[in-house]
Structures are given as structure tokens and as C-alpha cells.
């Protein structure tokens, strides 16, 4: 599973703290832009936020601190990532940040263990291009199944528009992903939107992000 560290930047492998905390160089670039994109969607919401593919846990702990009115539920398939998330959560002392769960979007019937509260939003950053298309399909079908009306699925990452890369750097990134694994790759916005619609989700907003990324807010209707 070490292949996923490619997204953690070019500075080499994540540097573990002695307690299991990992550092993702990309987190430091993305943390503020992503927060600016999602903050208004989360304001006024109540209940749970489920993050899938949380990686190190740095987004979860940062945003849980900034949005104490919500309960944050991180998850990841990798044990080392869950250990990192757990270490960040422990060090933070935050009472609204829950233990990480093992959620695998390759499983069609994936589920989560909440406390019975409303699921306000599902977040998934930088996962679907480093995964087979099945992961996008299962993410959307699961969001359609688990989110109540008005609930949000918020995605962040690079996307093509009308089958065309929005920047040479995204084209190069896509080629490097496909060289790692032919089933990976930068997805097309129209295909994502169609998949969302097929699962009861409507594209509510597209937010242009730094470095030719997009944040997509999809609302369950």
C-alpha cells in the first residue's frame, strides 16, 4: 500500500513522529484553501462529518478544531494512516473528533459506524484519482445511500473538463498516475456529475482551487 504516499509530495516518505503521527507535505499547501472552500457549506449544519481516505489525519484534526459544532469521523484503509489519525486525535484532546474507522471504497456496500446522529457531510480529498473508477462509483452510491436530503458530498482534487486537462501540470500528473497504475487517473467532471446524478446527488457548486484543482459540492436531494 506504500504507493499512496506518492500524493504526500515529492519530499519523500512521510516523516513519522515518535507517536505514529505522519506528515503529508500536500496538507500544508491544501489546508487553508480547502477550509475556505468547505467552511460555508458546514456553517449552520449539525451532526456528523465523515471523511473518507483521511490519510495522516491532519485535515480531520484541523477542521474538527475549527468546527466544534460538528462531530468528525475520519477513516482510512491503511493501518499506518489510522494509527496516525489516532495519534493526532489523542494529542489534540478534541472531544468532537472520533476514532478512525476502516472504510474501503472498493467495497460496494461500505458503511460507517456513527452514533446515530445526522450525517451532515461526507468529505473525500485526493482519493478518487489515486484509485480505480470503482472507488468513485462506490463513493457516490454510498453517499446516495447514507446522506439524508440536503446532505453534502464534498470532493477535492484535479479534474478534466469535457475530457480535456485544465493545465499541462494536470496532464503530466495524470500520466504519472496511469504509469503507476493504469486504473488510476484524473477524472472528468462531466463523468463525475453524471455519476452523482445517477445516485441522487446534484452538483451544487464548483470551486476553483489553487494549482488547477477543484472542490465539488454535491447535494443529496
Work out whether 81 is an interface residue with ligand SAM (CB under 6 A). Answer: yes
- Do 9 and 26 meet the contact criterion of CB atoms below 8 Å apart? yes
209 contributes a contact to ligand SAM by CB under 6 A: no
Q: Give the Cα separation of 78 and 102 in Å (integer).
A: 8
131 binds ligand SAM (CB under 6 A): yes
Residues of span 152-191 touching ligand SAM by CB under 6 A: none
3-state helix, strand, coil in the chain (%, to 5): 40, 20, 35
φ, ψ (nearest 5 deg) of residue 215: -110, 130
Contact set for ligand SAM, span 5-64 (CB under 6 A): 7, 24, 26-27, 52-55, 59
Among 67, 85, 105, 121, binds ligand SAM (CB under 6 A): 105
Closer residue to ligand SAM (CB): 55 or 151: 55
Site for ligand SAM in 134-153 (CB under 6 A): 135
Query: What is the phi/psi pair of residue 205, to 5°?
Result: -165, 145
In which element (H, E) is residue 209 found? strand 201-209
For residue 9, which of 203, 155, 182, 173 has the smallest C-alpha distance?
A: 173
Among 16, 45, 78, 92, binds ligand SAM (CB under 6 A): 78
**Site residues (CB under 6 A) for ligand SAM?**
4, 7, 24, 26-27, 52-55, 59, 76-78, 81, 103-106, 125-127, 130-131, 135
Amino acid at each position: 500500500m506504500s504507493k499512496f504516499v506518492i500524493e504526500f509530495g515529492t519530499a519523500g516518505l512521510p516523516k513519522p513522529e515518535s507517536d505514529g503521527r505522519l506528515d503529508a507535505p500536500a496538507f500544508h499547501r491544501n489546508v487553508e484553501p480547502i477550509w475556505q472552500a468547505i467552511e460555508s457549506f458546514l456553517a449552520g449544519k449539525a451532526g456528523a462529518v465523515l471523511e473518507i481516505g483521511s490519510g495522516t489525519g491532519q485535515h480531520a484534526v484541523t477542521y474538527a478544531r475549527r468546527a466544534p459544532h460538528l462531530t468528525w469521523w475520519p477513516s482510512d484503509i491503511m493501518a499506518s494512516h489510522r494509527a496516525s489519525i489516532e495519534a493526532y486525535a489523542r494529542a489534540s484532546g478534541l472531544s468532537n473528533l472520533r476514532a478512525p474507522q476502516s472504510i474501503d471504497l472498493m467495497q460496494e456496500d461500505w458503511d460507517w459506524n456513527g452514533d446515530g446522529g445526522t450525517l451532515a457531510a461526507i468529505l473525500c480529498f485526493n482519493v478518487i484519482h489515486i484509485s480505480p473508477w470503482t472507488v468513485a462509483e462506490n463513493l457516490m452510491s454510498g453517499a446516495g445511500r447514507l446522506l439524508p436530503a440536503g446532505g453534502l458530498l464534498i470532493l477535492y482534487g484535479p479534474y478534466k473538463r469535457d475530457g480535456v486537462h485544465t493545465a499541462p501540470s494536470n496532464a503530466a500528473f495524470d500520466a504519472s498516475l496511469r504509469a503507476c497504475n493504469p486504473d488510476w487517473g484524473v477524472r472528468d467532471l462531466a463523468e463525475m456529475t453524471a455519476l452523482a446524478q445517477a445516485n441522487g446527488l446534484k452538483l451544487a457548486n464548483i470551486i476553483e482551487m489553487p494549482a488547477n484543482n477543484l472542490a465539488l459540492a454535491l447535494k443529496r436531494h
